[in-house]
Every structure is written in C-alpha cells, then in structure tokens.
Amino acid sequence: MRRKGRISGLLIGTACLTLGLGGCGASYDTTSPRSAREHAASDAKHATPAAAKPNVLKEKDGGKTGPVDCAVAKCVALTFDAGPSGNTPRLLKILKREKAHATFFMLGRKHIERHPDLVRRIADEGHELANHTWSHKILTKTDSDEVRTEITRVQSAVKKLTGRTPLLMRPPQGRTDERVSKICRELGVAQVLWSVTAKDYQTNDSALIQKRVLEQTKRDGIILLHDIYKGTVPAVPGILAKLKEDGYTVVTVSQLMAPATPEPGQVYRP
C-alpha cells in the first residue's frame, strides 16, 4: 500500500519551519516520491511481463544513454523556481557540462513571456518543464476561478512554445489545501513541494547557499533553488560536485518518481 502523510494541526507549523513552507493553517494529504515509486513498482510486479518492464526515464552520459532507476541509484531531484531569467543561460551551461537535469517551475508574467527562447532551450536540453503559476499569487488566498487562470495560463504558454504541457505545479510559497488540490486534479497537474531549501531569497552568499543545500540533502529528497537570485547559480557547480562525490545521481522530479507517473491533484513531498 502506498504510504501517505498528512500535514495538519501542529504538524503544519513544524513542516513550515523545517521546509520553509508558507502554507500554515491548511491541511492536505501528501505522498512522497519514494512511496509513489515503490507503489508503482509493486503494482508492476503483479502485472503482465510486458507491463512489468521498468519504466524509468533516461539520462545522457557522455553520449551514451542509460536508465536512471532511483530504486537502485542514490537520487535527489534538483528544482529551480520562478524563472527563467537572465541567470538561466549560465545555469543551463553548468547543467549541460555536469550532465545533470533539473525541473524548472516557471513563472509566466515577466518570465515565460519575456524569455520564450529560454523556455524552448530548457525543453531542448532535456530538462523538465513545470508550472509555478502566472503571477505568483498565493493560491489558498485566491478565488477558485483565478486559481484556474493562474495555472492554465502557464500551461497554455508552455505548450505553445514547446508542444509540451507541464504535469507538475509548485504552489507559490508551498501553500496549498484541499480546494487547490481539487482544482489541480481537474486541470491535470500534480503539486510538488520540497525537502531542501537554501532560502536563497534571503542571501546572495553562494557559499552559504551551497552549505545549506548539502547539510539538508538526503536520498530521495527534492532541492528547491531559484534561478532568479544573484547568489544561486554560482553555488550550483559546488553543489553538483559534492553531491556527485557523495554518490548522488541528480534527476528531475519525474525521474525520481519513475516508474510512477504524477497523479493530478496529489501533493508530493519527501
């Protein structure tokens, strides 16, 4: 059986302090990427031989393509919020050089609309396209029609630019609730929170950002960074180098979950 958690009551305050979440006061069910992956793998064992074949995504390594199976590999997902921005080209060069892929939770207003070429480049270089709403409104404080607009405008813009419709959405400040989850289910997007935050919106000290990430990272976690802040991108090479040294494989959120696929409306939190 898939293990689910629930953020509610006093646990909300603890989660908000630990994860840097702003969504204090709401309650909702969560599923960890690891639990989703294990549940899907268990189902596959009881399926037909063809269906039981591992459905892991691929990563490129020196021109060769091989499977990333996070049931075997020591994986961590790397994510960037609120871009693309003028810092993103440098970030993409770093990720390409290090043969690492990330999930980009992109903002619409002043980001997707200003940097359409970067959205296409993110897609072309094998990264995962994801939704961070159009204008970063707090969804739990926004009426339902506007919540739908905040999500669907990004979905439409990304599909128009790349031909792909995001499957994942990160609610601004991590604030969600059962009403938002219901809307996400209707719109076909899963919600993704995180387990590691450098709070890079508070500092431009790249060494401190790197230190915070590495101190919090554990297997099957999700790292939250922002490619809009001055100190973040310079911290990425050191983060990737140390993660590699410690035996981690850096993956996208969907790779971390595979062979599970994101379930619309579900909140995924390590």
Peptide bond before residue 166 is cis, with ω within 30 degrees of 0? no
**pTM of the entire predicted model:** 0.87
As separate numbers, helices (DSSP H) first and strands (DSSP E) second, the chain gives 9, 13
| Predicted pLDDT of residue 27 | 76
| DSSP-assigned states of every residue in 45-69 | HTS-TTTTS----EEEETTEEEE--
Neighbours of 23 (CB within 10 A): 25
Residues catalogued as catalytic: 81, 226
Q: Residue type at 227? A: D
Question: Which pLDDT belongs to residue 43?
Answer: 80
Round to whole Å and give the CA distance between 107 and 232. Answer: 17
Q: Which domain holds residue 55?
A: 4-268
Coil vs helix vs strand at 131: strand
CATH of the domain at 181: 3.20.20.370
Q: How far apart are CA 166 and CA 196, in angstroms?
A: 22
Residue numbers of the chain with a pLDDT score lower than 70: 1-26, 45-66
List the Cα angle 21/230/210 in 5-degree steps.
65
Distance CA 251, CA 223 (A): 10
- State the pLDDT at residue 268: 98
Given a contact cutoff of 8 angstroms between Cβ atoms, the answer to whether 195 and 215 are in contact is no
Beta-carbon contacts of 245 under 8 Å, excluding residues fewer than 6 positions away, are none
Per-residue confidence (pLDDT) for residue 57, from 0 to 100: 45
Question: Could you give the dihedral angle defined by the CA atoms of residues 174, 175, 179 and 185, in that order, rounded to the nearest 10 degrees?
Answer: -10
The amino acid that residue 180 corresponds to is: V
Q: How far lies 67's CA from each of 61, 72, 102, 126, 252, in Å? A: 10, 10, 16, 14, 13
Q: At 38, which amino acid appears?
A: E
| d(C-alpha 189, C-alpha 211), whole Å | 32
Question: What is the pLDDT, as a whole number, of residue 14?
Answer: 42
Number of domains, the chain: 1
